[in-house]
Amino acid sequence: MPGITTRRKWIKKAAAAVAAVSITPSLFATERERYRAAGIILLNSNENAYGPSAAAQKAMAEALSGSNRYPDEQIPALKQQIAEFWGVGKENILMGAGSSEILGLTSLLVSSVKGHVITAEPSYRVWNSQAEAFGLSFKRIPLAADKTHDLSGMMSAMDAGTRMMYVCNPNNPVGIYVENHLLRTFAEECSKKCMVLVDEAYTEFAGLPSLKDIAVGNPNVMIAKTFSKIYGLAGARVGYAIAHPDTIKKLGNLQPWNDVSVSMVTAAAASAALKDQAFVKDCREKTRQAREMCYDCFKQLSLDYIPSYTSFILFNIDKIGSDFSKKMQAKNIFVQYREHFGGKWCRVSMGTLEEMQQFCSALKEIA
Ligand SMILES: Cc1ncc(COP(=O)(O)O)c(C=O)c1O
């Protein structure tokens, strides 16, 4: 992710400046301390500013001393816990190092016969270059006028070469979703001809139901889930697939060591995080408040924005210009510049309420 590379360089520079007057924070010191030391606010990668929860941190600390052992017992136990959480079987779950691994494995699976993936434009793309390296190409179907997926347009684009339909719901970077019943019908129809991968990275922010019940009974429908977003564990790298047992088996065969990409410490964090639904609720509410704060600011500045159901907002910066993110960066605030719908946009992730106040003040100064 280019935004991340830039921010790493910036933090290195800023940390060096801090070192001139104090002790350099270590690379593995808590993220919050390092960024606070450097005075940096990260609103460019849709991370959860409140995570990991206290329960997840405690579980990780307790699991540390077990890191000399392979997580032979812990991963099956975590899968069982996730399965019970969703009311599915353990054989319906595959663990990965983030949902990115699940997206990659699915791409590899469908690429055994060369062809293309149909996806929305814009949508989440980070995994696309890996899929291309596997020999897949992409057909990108513009969003409908209301900025939701153009499901019928995507279906019309299907042909004998279509290997997979990818639907990110709610969609990154626009932050809105297609109605569950529409997506259900779409998945049922398209799965007769190809794999349908539904990326549910942000469903918890929207309070959206999962499509997992279709996936467990249909070998051509897959759900990708992550602990990186509302659970606040992006750095721990843990995600999973919910799918039909045959599909889970095929995906597992593509892993060098089935399910073991998740470490002992990370498995402990995920297990504690899943139990801590109070934290999830709190993050959802604080994120909602942060969005409202941003909307007020955009309205005051007459900036167009797309009302979001996620932890980020896409707002229009045609009036401000493409150097907006550089200007924000000069104020130690990282956001993502985007070109969509023939215009200039900024995608801002929701930080803490305090961070969002600083973002709004900086935006007002620049705009
Ligand atoms: C829609 C979507 N899917 C998947 C991912 C990958 O997340 P991870 O690999 O951390 O689970 C992201 C990360 O930003 C995302 O926005």
pLDDT digits (tens, 9 = 90+) for 65-106: 999 999 999 999 999 999 999 999 999 999 999 999 999 999
**DSSP count for the chain of H helices, then E strands:** 15, 13
Strand 343-349 with 312-316, pairing:
antiparallel
Name which of 223, 172, 221, 217 is nearest 193 in CA terms: 221
Burial of 312 (0-12, 13-18, 19+ CB in 10 A): buried
CB 101 within 8 A of CB 266: no
Nearest atom in ligand 1 to the alpha carbon of residue 172 is: 1
Q: Which residue do the tokens 């500013």 mark?
A: 49
The predicted pLDDT at position 36 comes to 73
Atom of ligand 1 nearest to the CA of 101: 9
CA of 171 to the centre of ligand 1 (A): 11
The CA 105 to ligand 1 mean position distance, Å, reads 14
Tokens of 103: 């997206």
**163 φ/ψ angles, rounded to the nearest 5 degrees:** -100, -25
* Residue 243 contacts residue 215 (beta carbons within 8 Å): yes
Mean pLDDT of the chain: 93
| pLDDT value at residue 51 | 92
For 145-155, what is the mean pLDDT? Answer: 97
Q: How far is the CA of 159 from the centre of ligand 1 (A)?
A: 28
Residue 135 to residue 173: CA distance in whole angstroms: 25
What would the two tokens of residue 281 be? 């609720």
- pLDDT of 243 over the 90 cut: yes
338 by DSSP, 3-state: which? Answer: strand
Check if 199 has its Cβ closer than 6 Å to any atom of ligand 1: yes
Ligand 1 and 46: CB distance under 6 A: yes
* 16, pLDDT greater than 70: no
Q: Is the CB of 201 inside a 6 Å radius of any atom of ligand 1? A: yes
Ligand 1 contacts CB of residue 119 (under 6 A): no
Q: Name 267's Cβ contacts closer than 8 Å, sequence gap at least 6.
A: 63, 71, 74, 75, 78, 95, 238
- The helix/strand/coil state of 333 is strand
Listed in sequence order, the DSSP H helices in 96-164 are: 99-110, 128-133, 151-156
Q: Encode pLDDT of 29-64 as tens digits.
A: 666 677 777 889 999 999 999 999 999 999 999 999
For residue 321, the Cα-to-chain-centroid distance in whole angstroms is 27
Cα(195)–Cα(165) distance, rounded to whole angstroms? 6
User: What spacing in Å lies between the alpha carbon of 201 and ligand 1's midpoint?
Assistant: 6
Q: What pLDDT does residue 32 have?
A: 65
Using the mean position of ligand 1's atoms as its centre, give its distance from the Cα of residue 100 in Å: 6
Ligand 1: which atom is nearest the Cα of residue 202?
Answer: 1
Q: How far is the centre of ligand 1, averaged over its atoms, from the C-alpha of 126 (Å)?
A: 8
Give the pLDDT confidence score for residue 2 in this predicted structure: 44
Mutate to test the pocket of ligand 1, among 172, 222, 266 (most ligand atoms within 8 A of CB): 172
The C-alpha angle 173, 179, 183, rounded to 5 degrees, equals: 90
- Residue owning the nearest CA to atom 6 of ligand 1: 100
| Pair 232, 206: CB distance under 8 Å | no
| E-strand stretches of 169-215 | 195-199
Report CA 51 to chain centroid distance, whole Å: 14
Tokens at residue 246, please? Answer: 């045959």
Helix (H) or strand (E) segment spanning residue 74 = helix 74-86
**Is the distance from the beta carbon of residue 203 to the nearest atom of ligand 1 less than 6 Å?**
no
Q: For residue 345, what are the CA distances in angstroms to 306, 328, 361?
A: 10, 14, 18
Q: Who has greater pLDDT, 13 or 199?
A: 199
pLDDT, tens digit, for every residue of 187-204?
A: 999 999 999 999 999 999
The response to whether residue 124 sits with its C-beta less than 6 Å from ligand 1 reads yes
Q: Whose CA is nearest to atom 15 of ligand 1?
A: 201
Angle in degrees, CA 18, 24, 26, rounded to 5: 135
Range 55-275 classified under CATH 3.40.50.2300: no
Domain positions in the chain are 55-275, 277-316+325-339+355-367
Structure tokens of 348? 């801002």
Q: 99 CA to middle of ligand 1, Å?
A: 6
- What is the C-alpha separation between 128 and 95, in angstroms, rounded? 20
φ and ψ at 77, to 5 degrees? Answer: -65, -40
Place of tokens 């909307």: 295
Q: Which of 103, 167, 228 to mutate to test the pocket of ligand 1 (most atoms within 8 A of CB)?
A: 228
Q: Which pLDDT score is estimated for 90?
A: 98
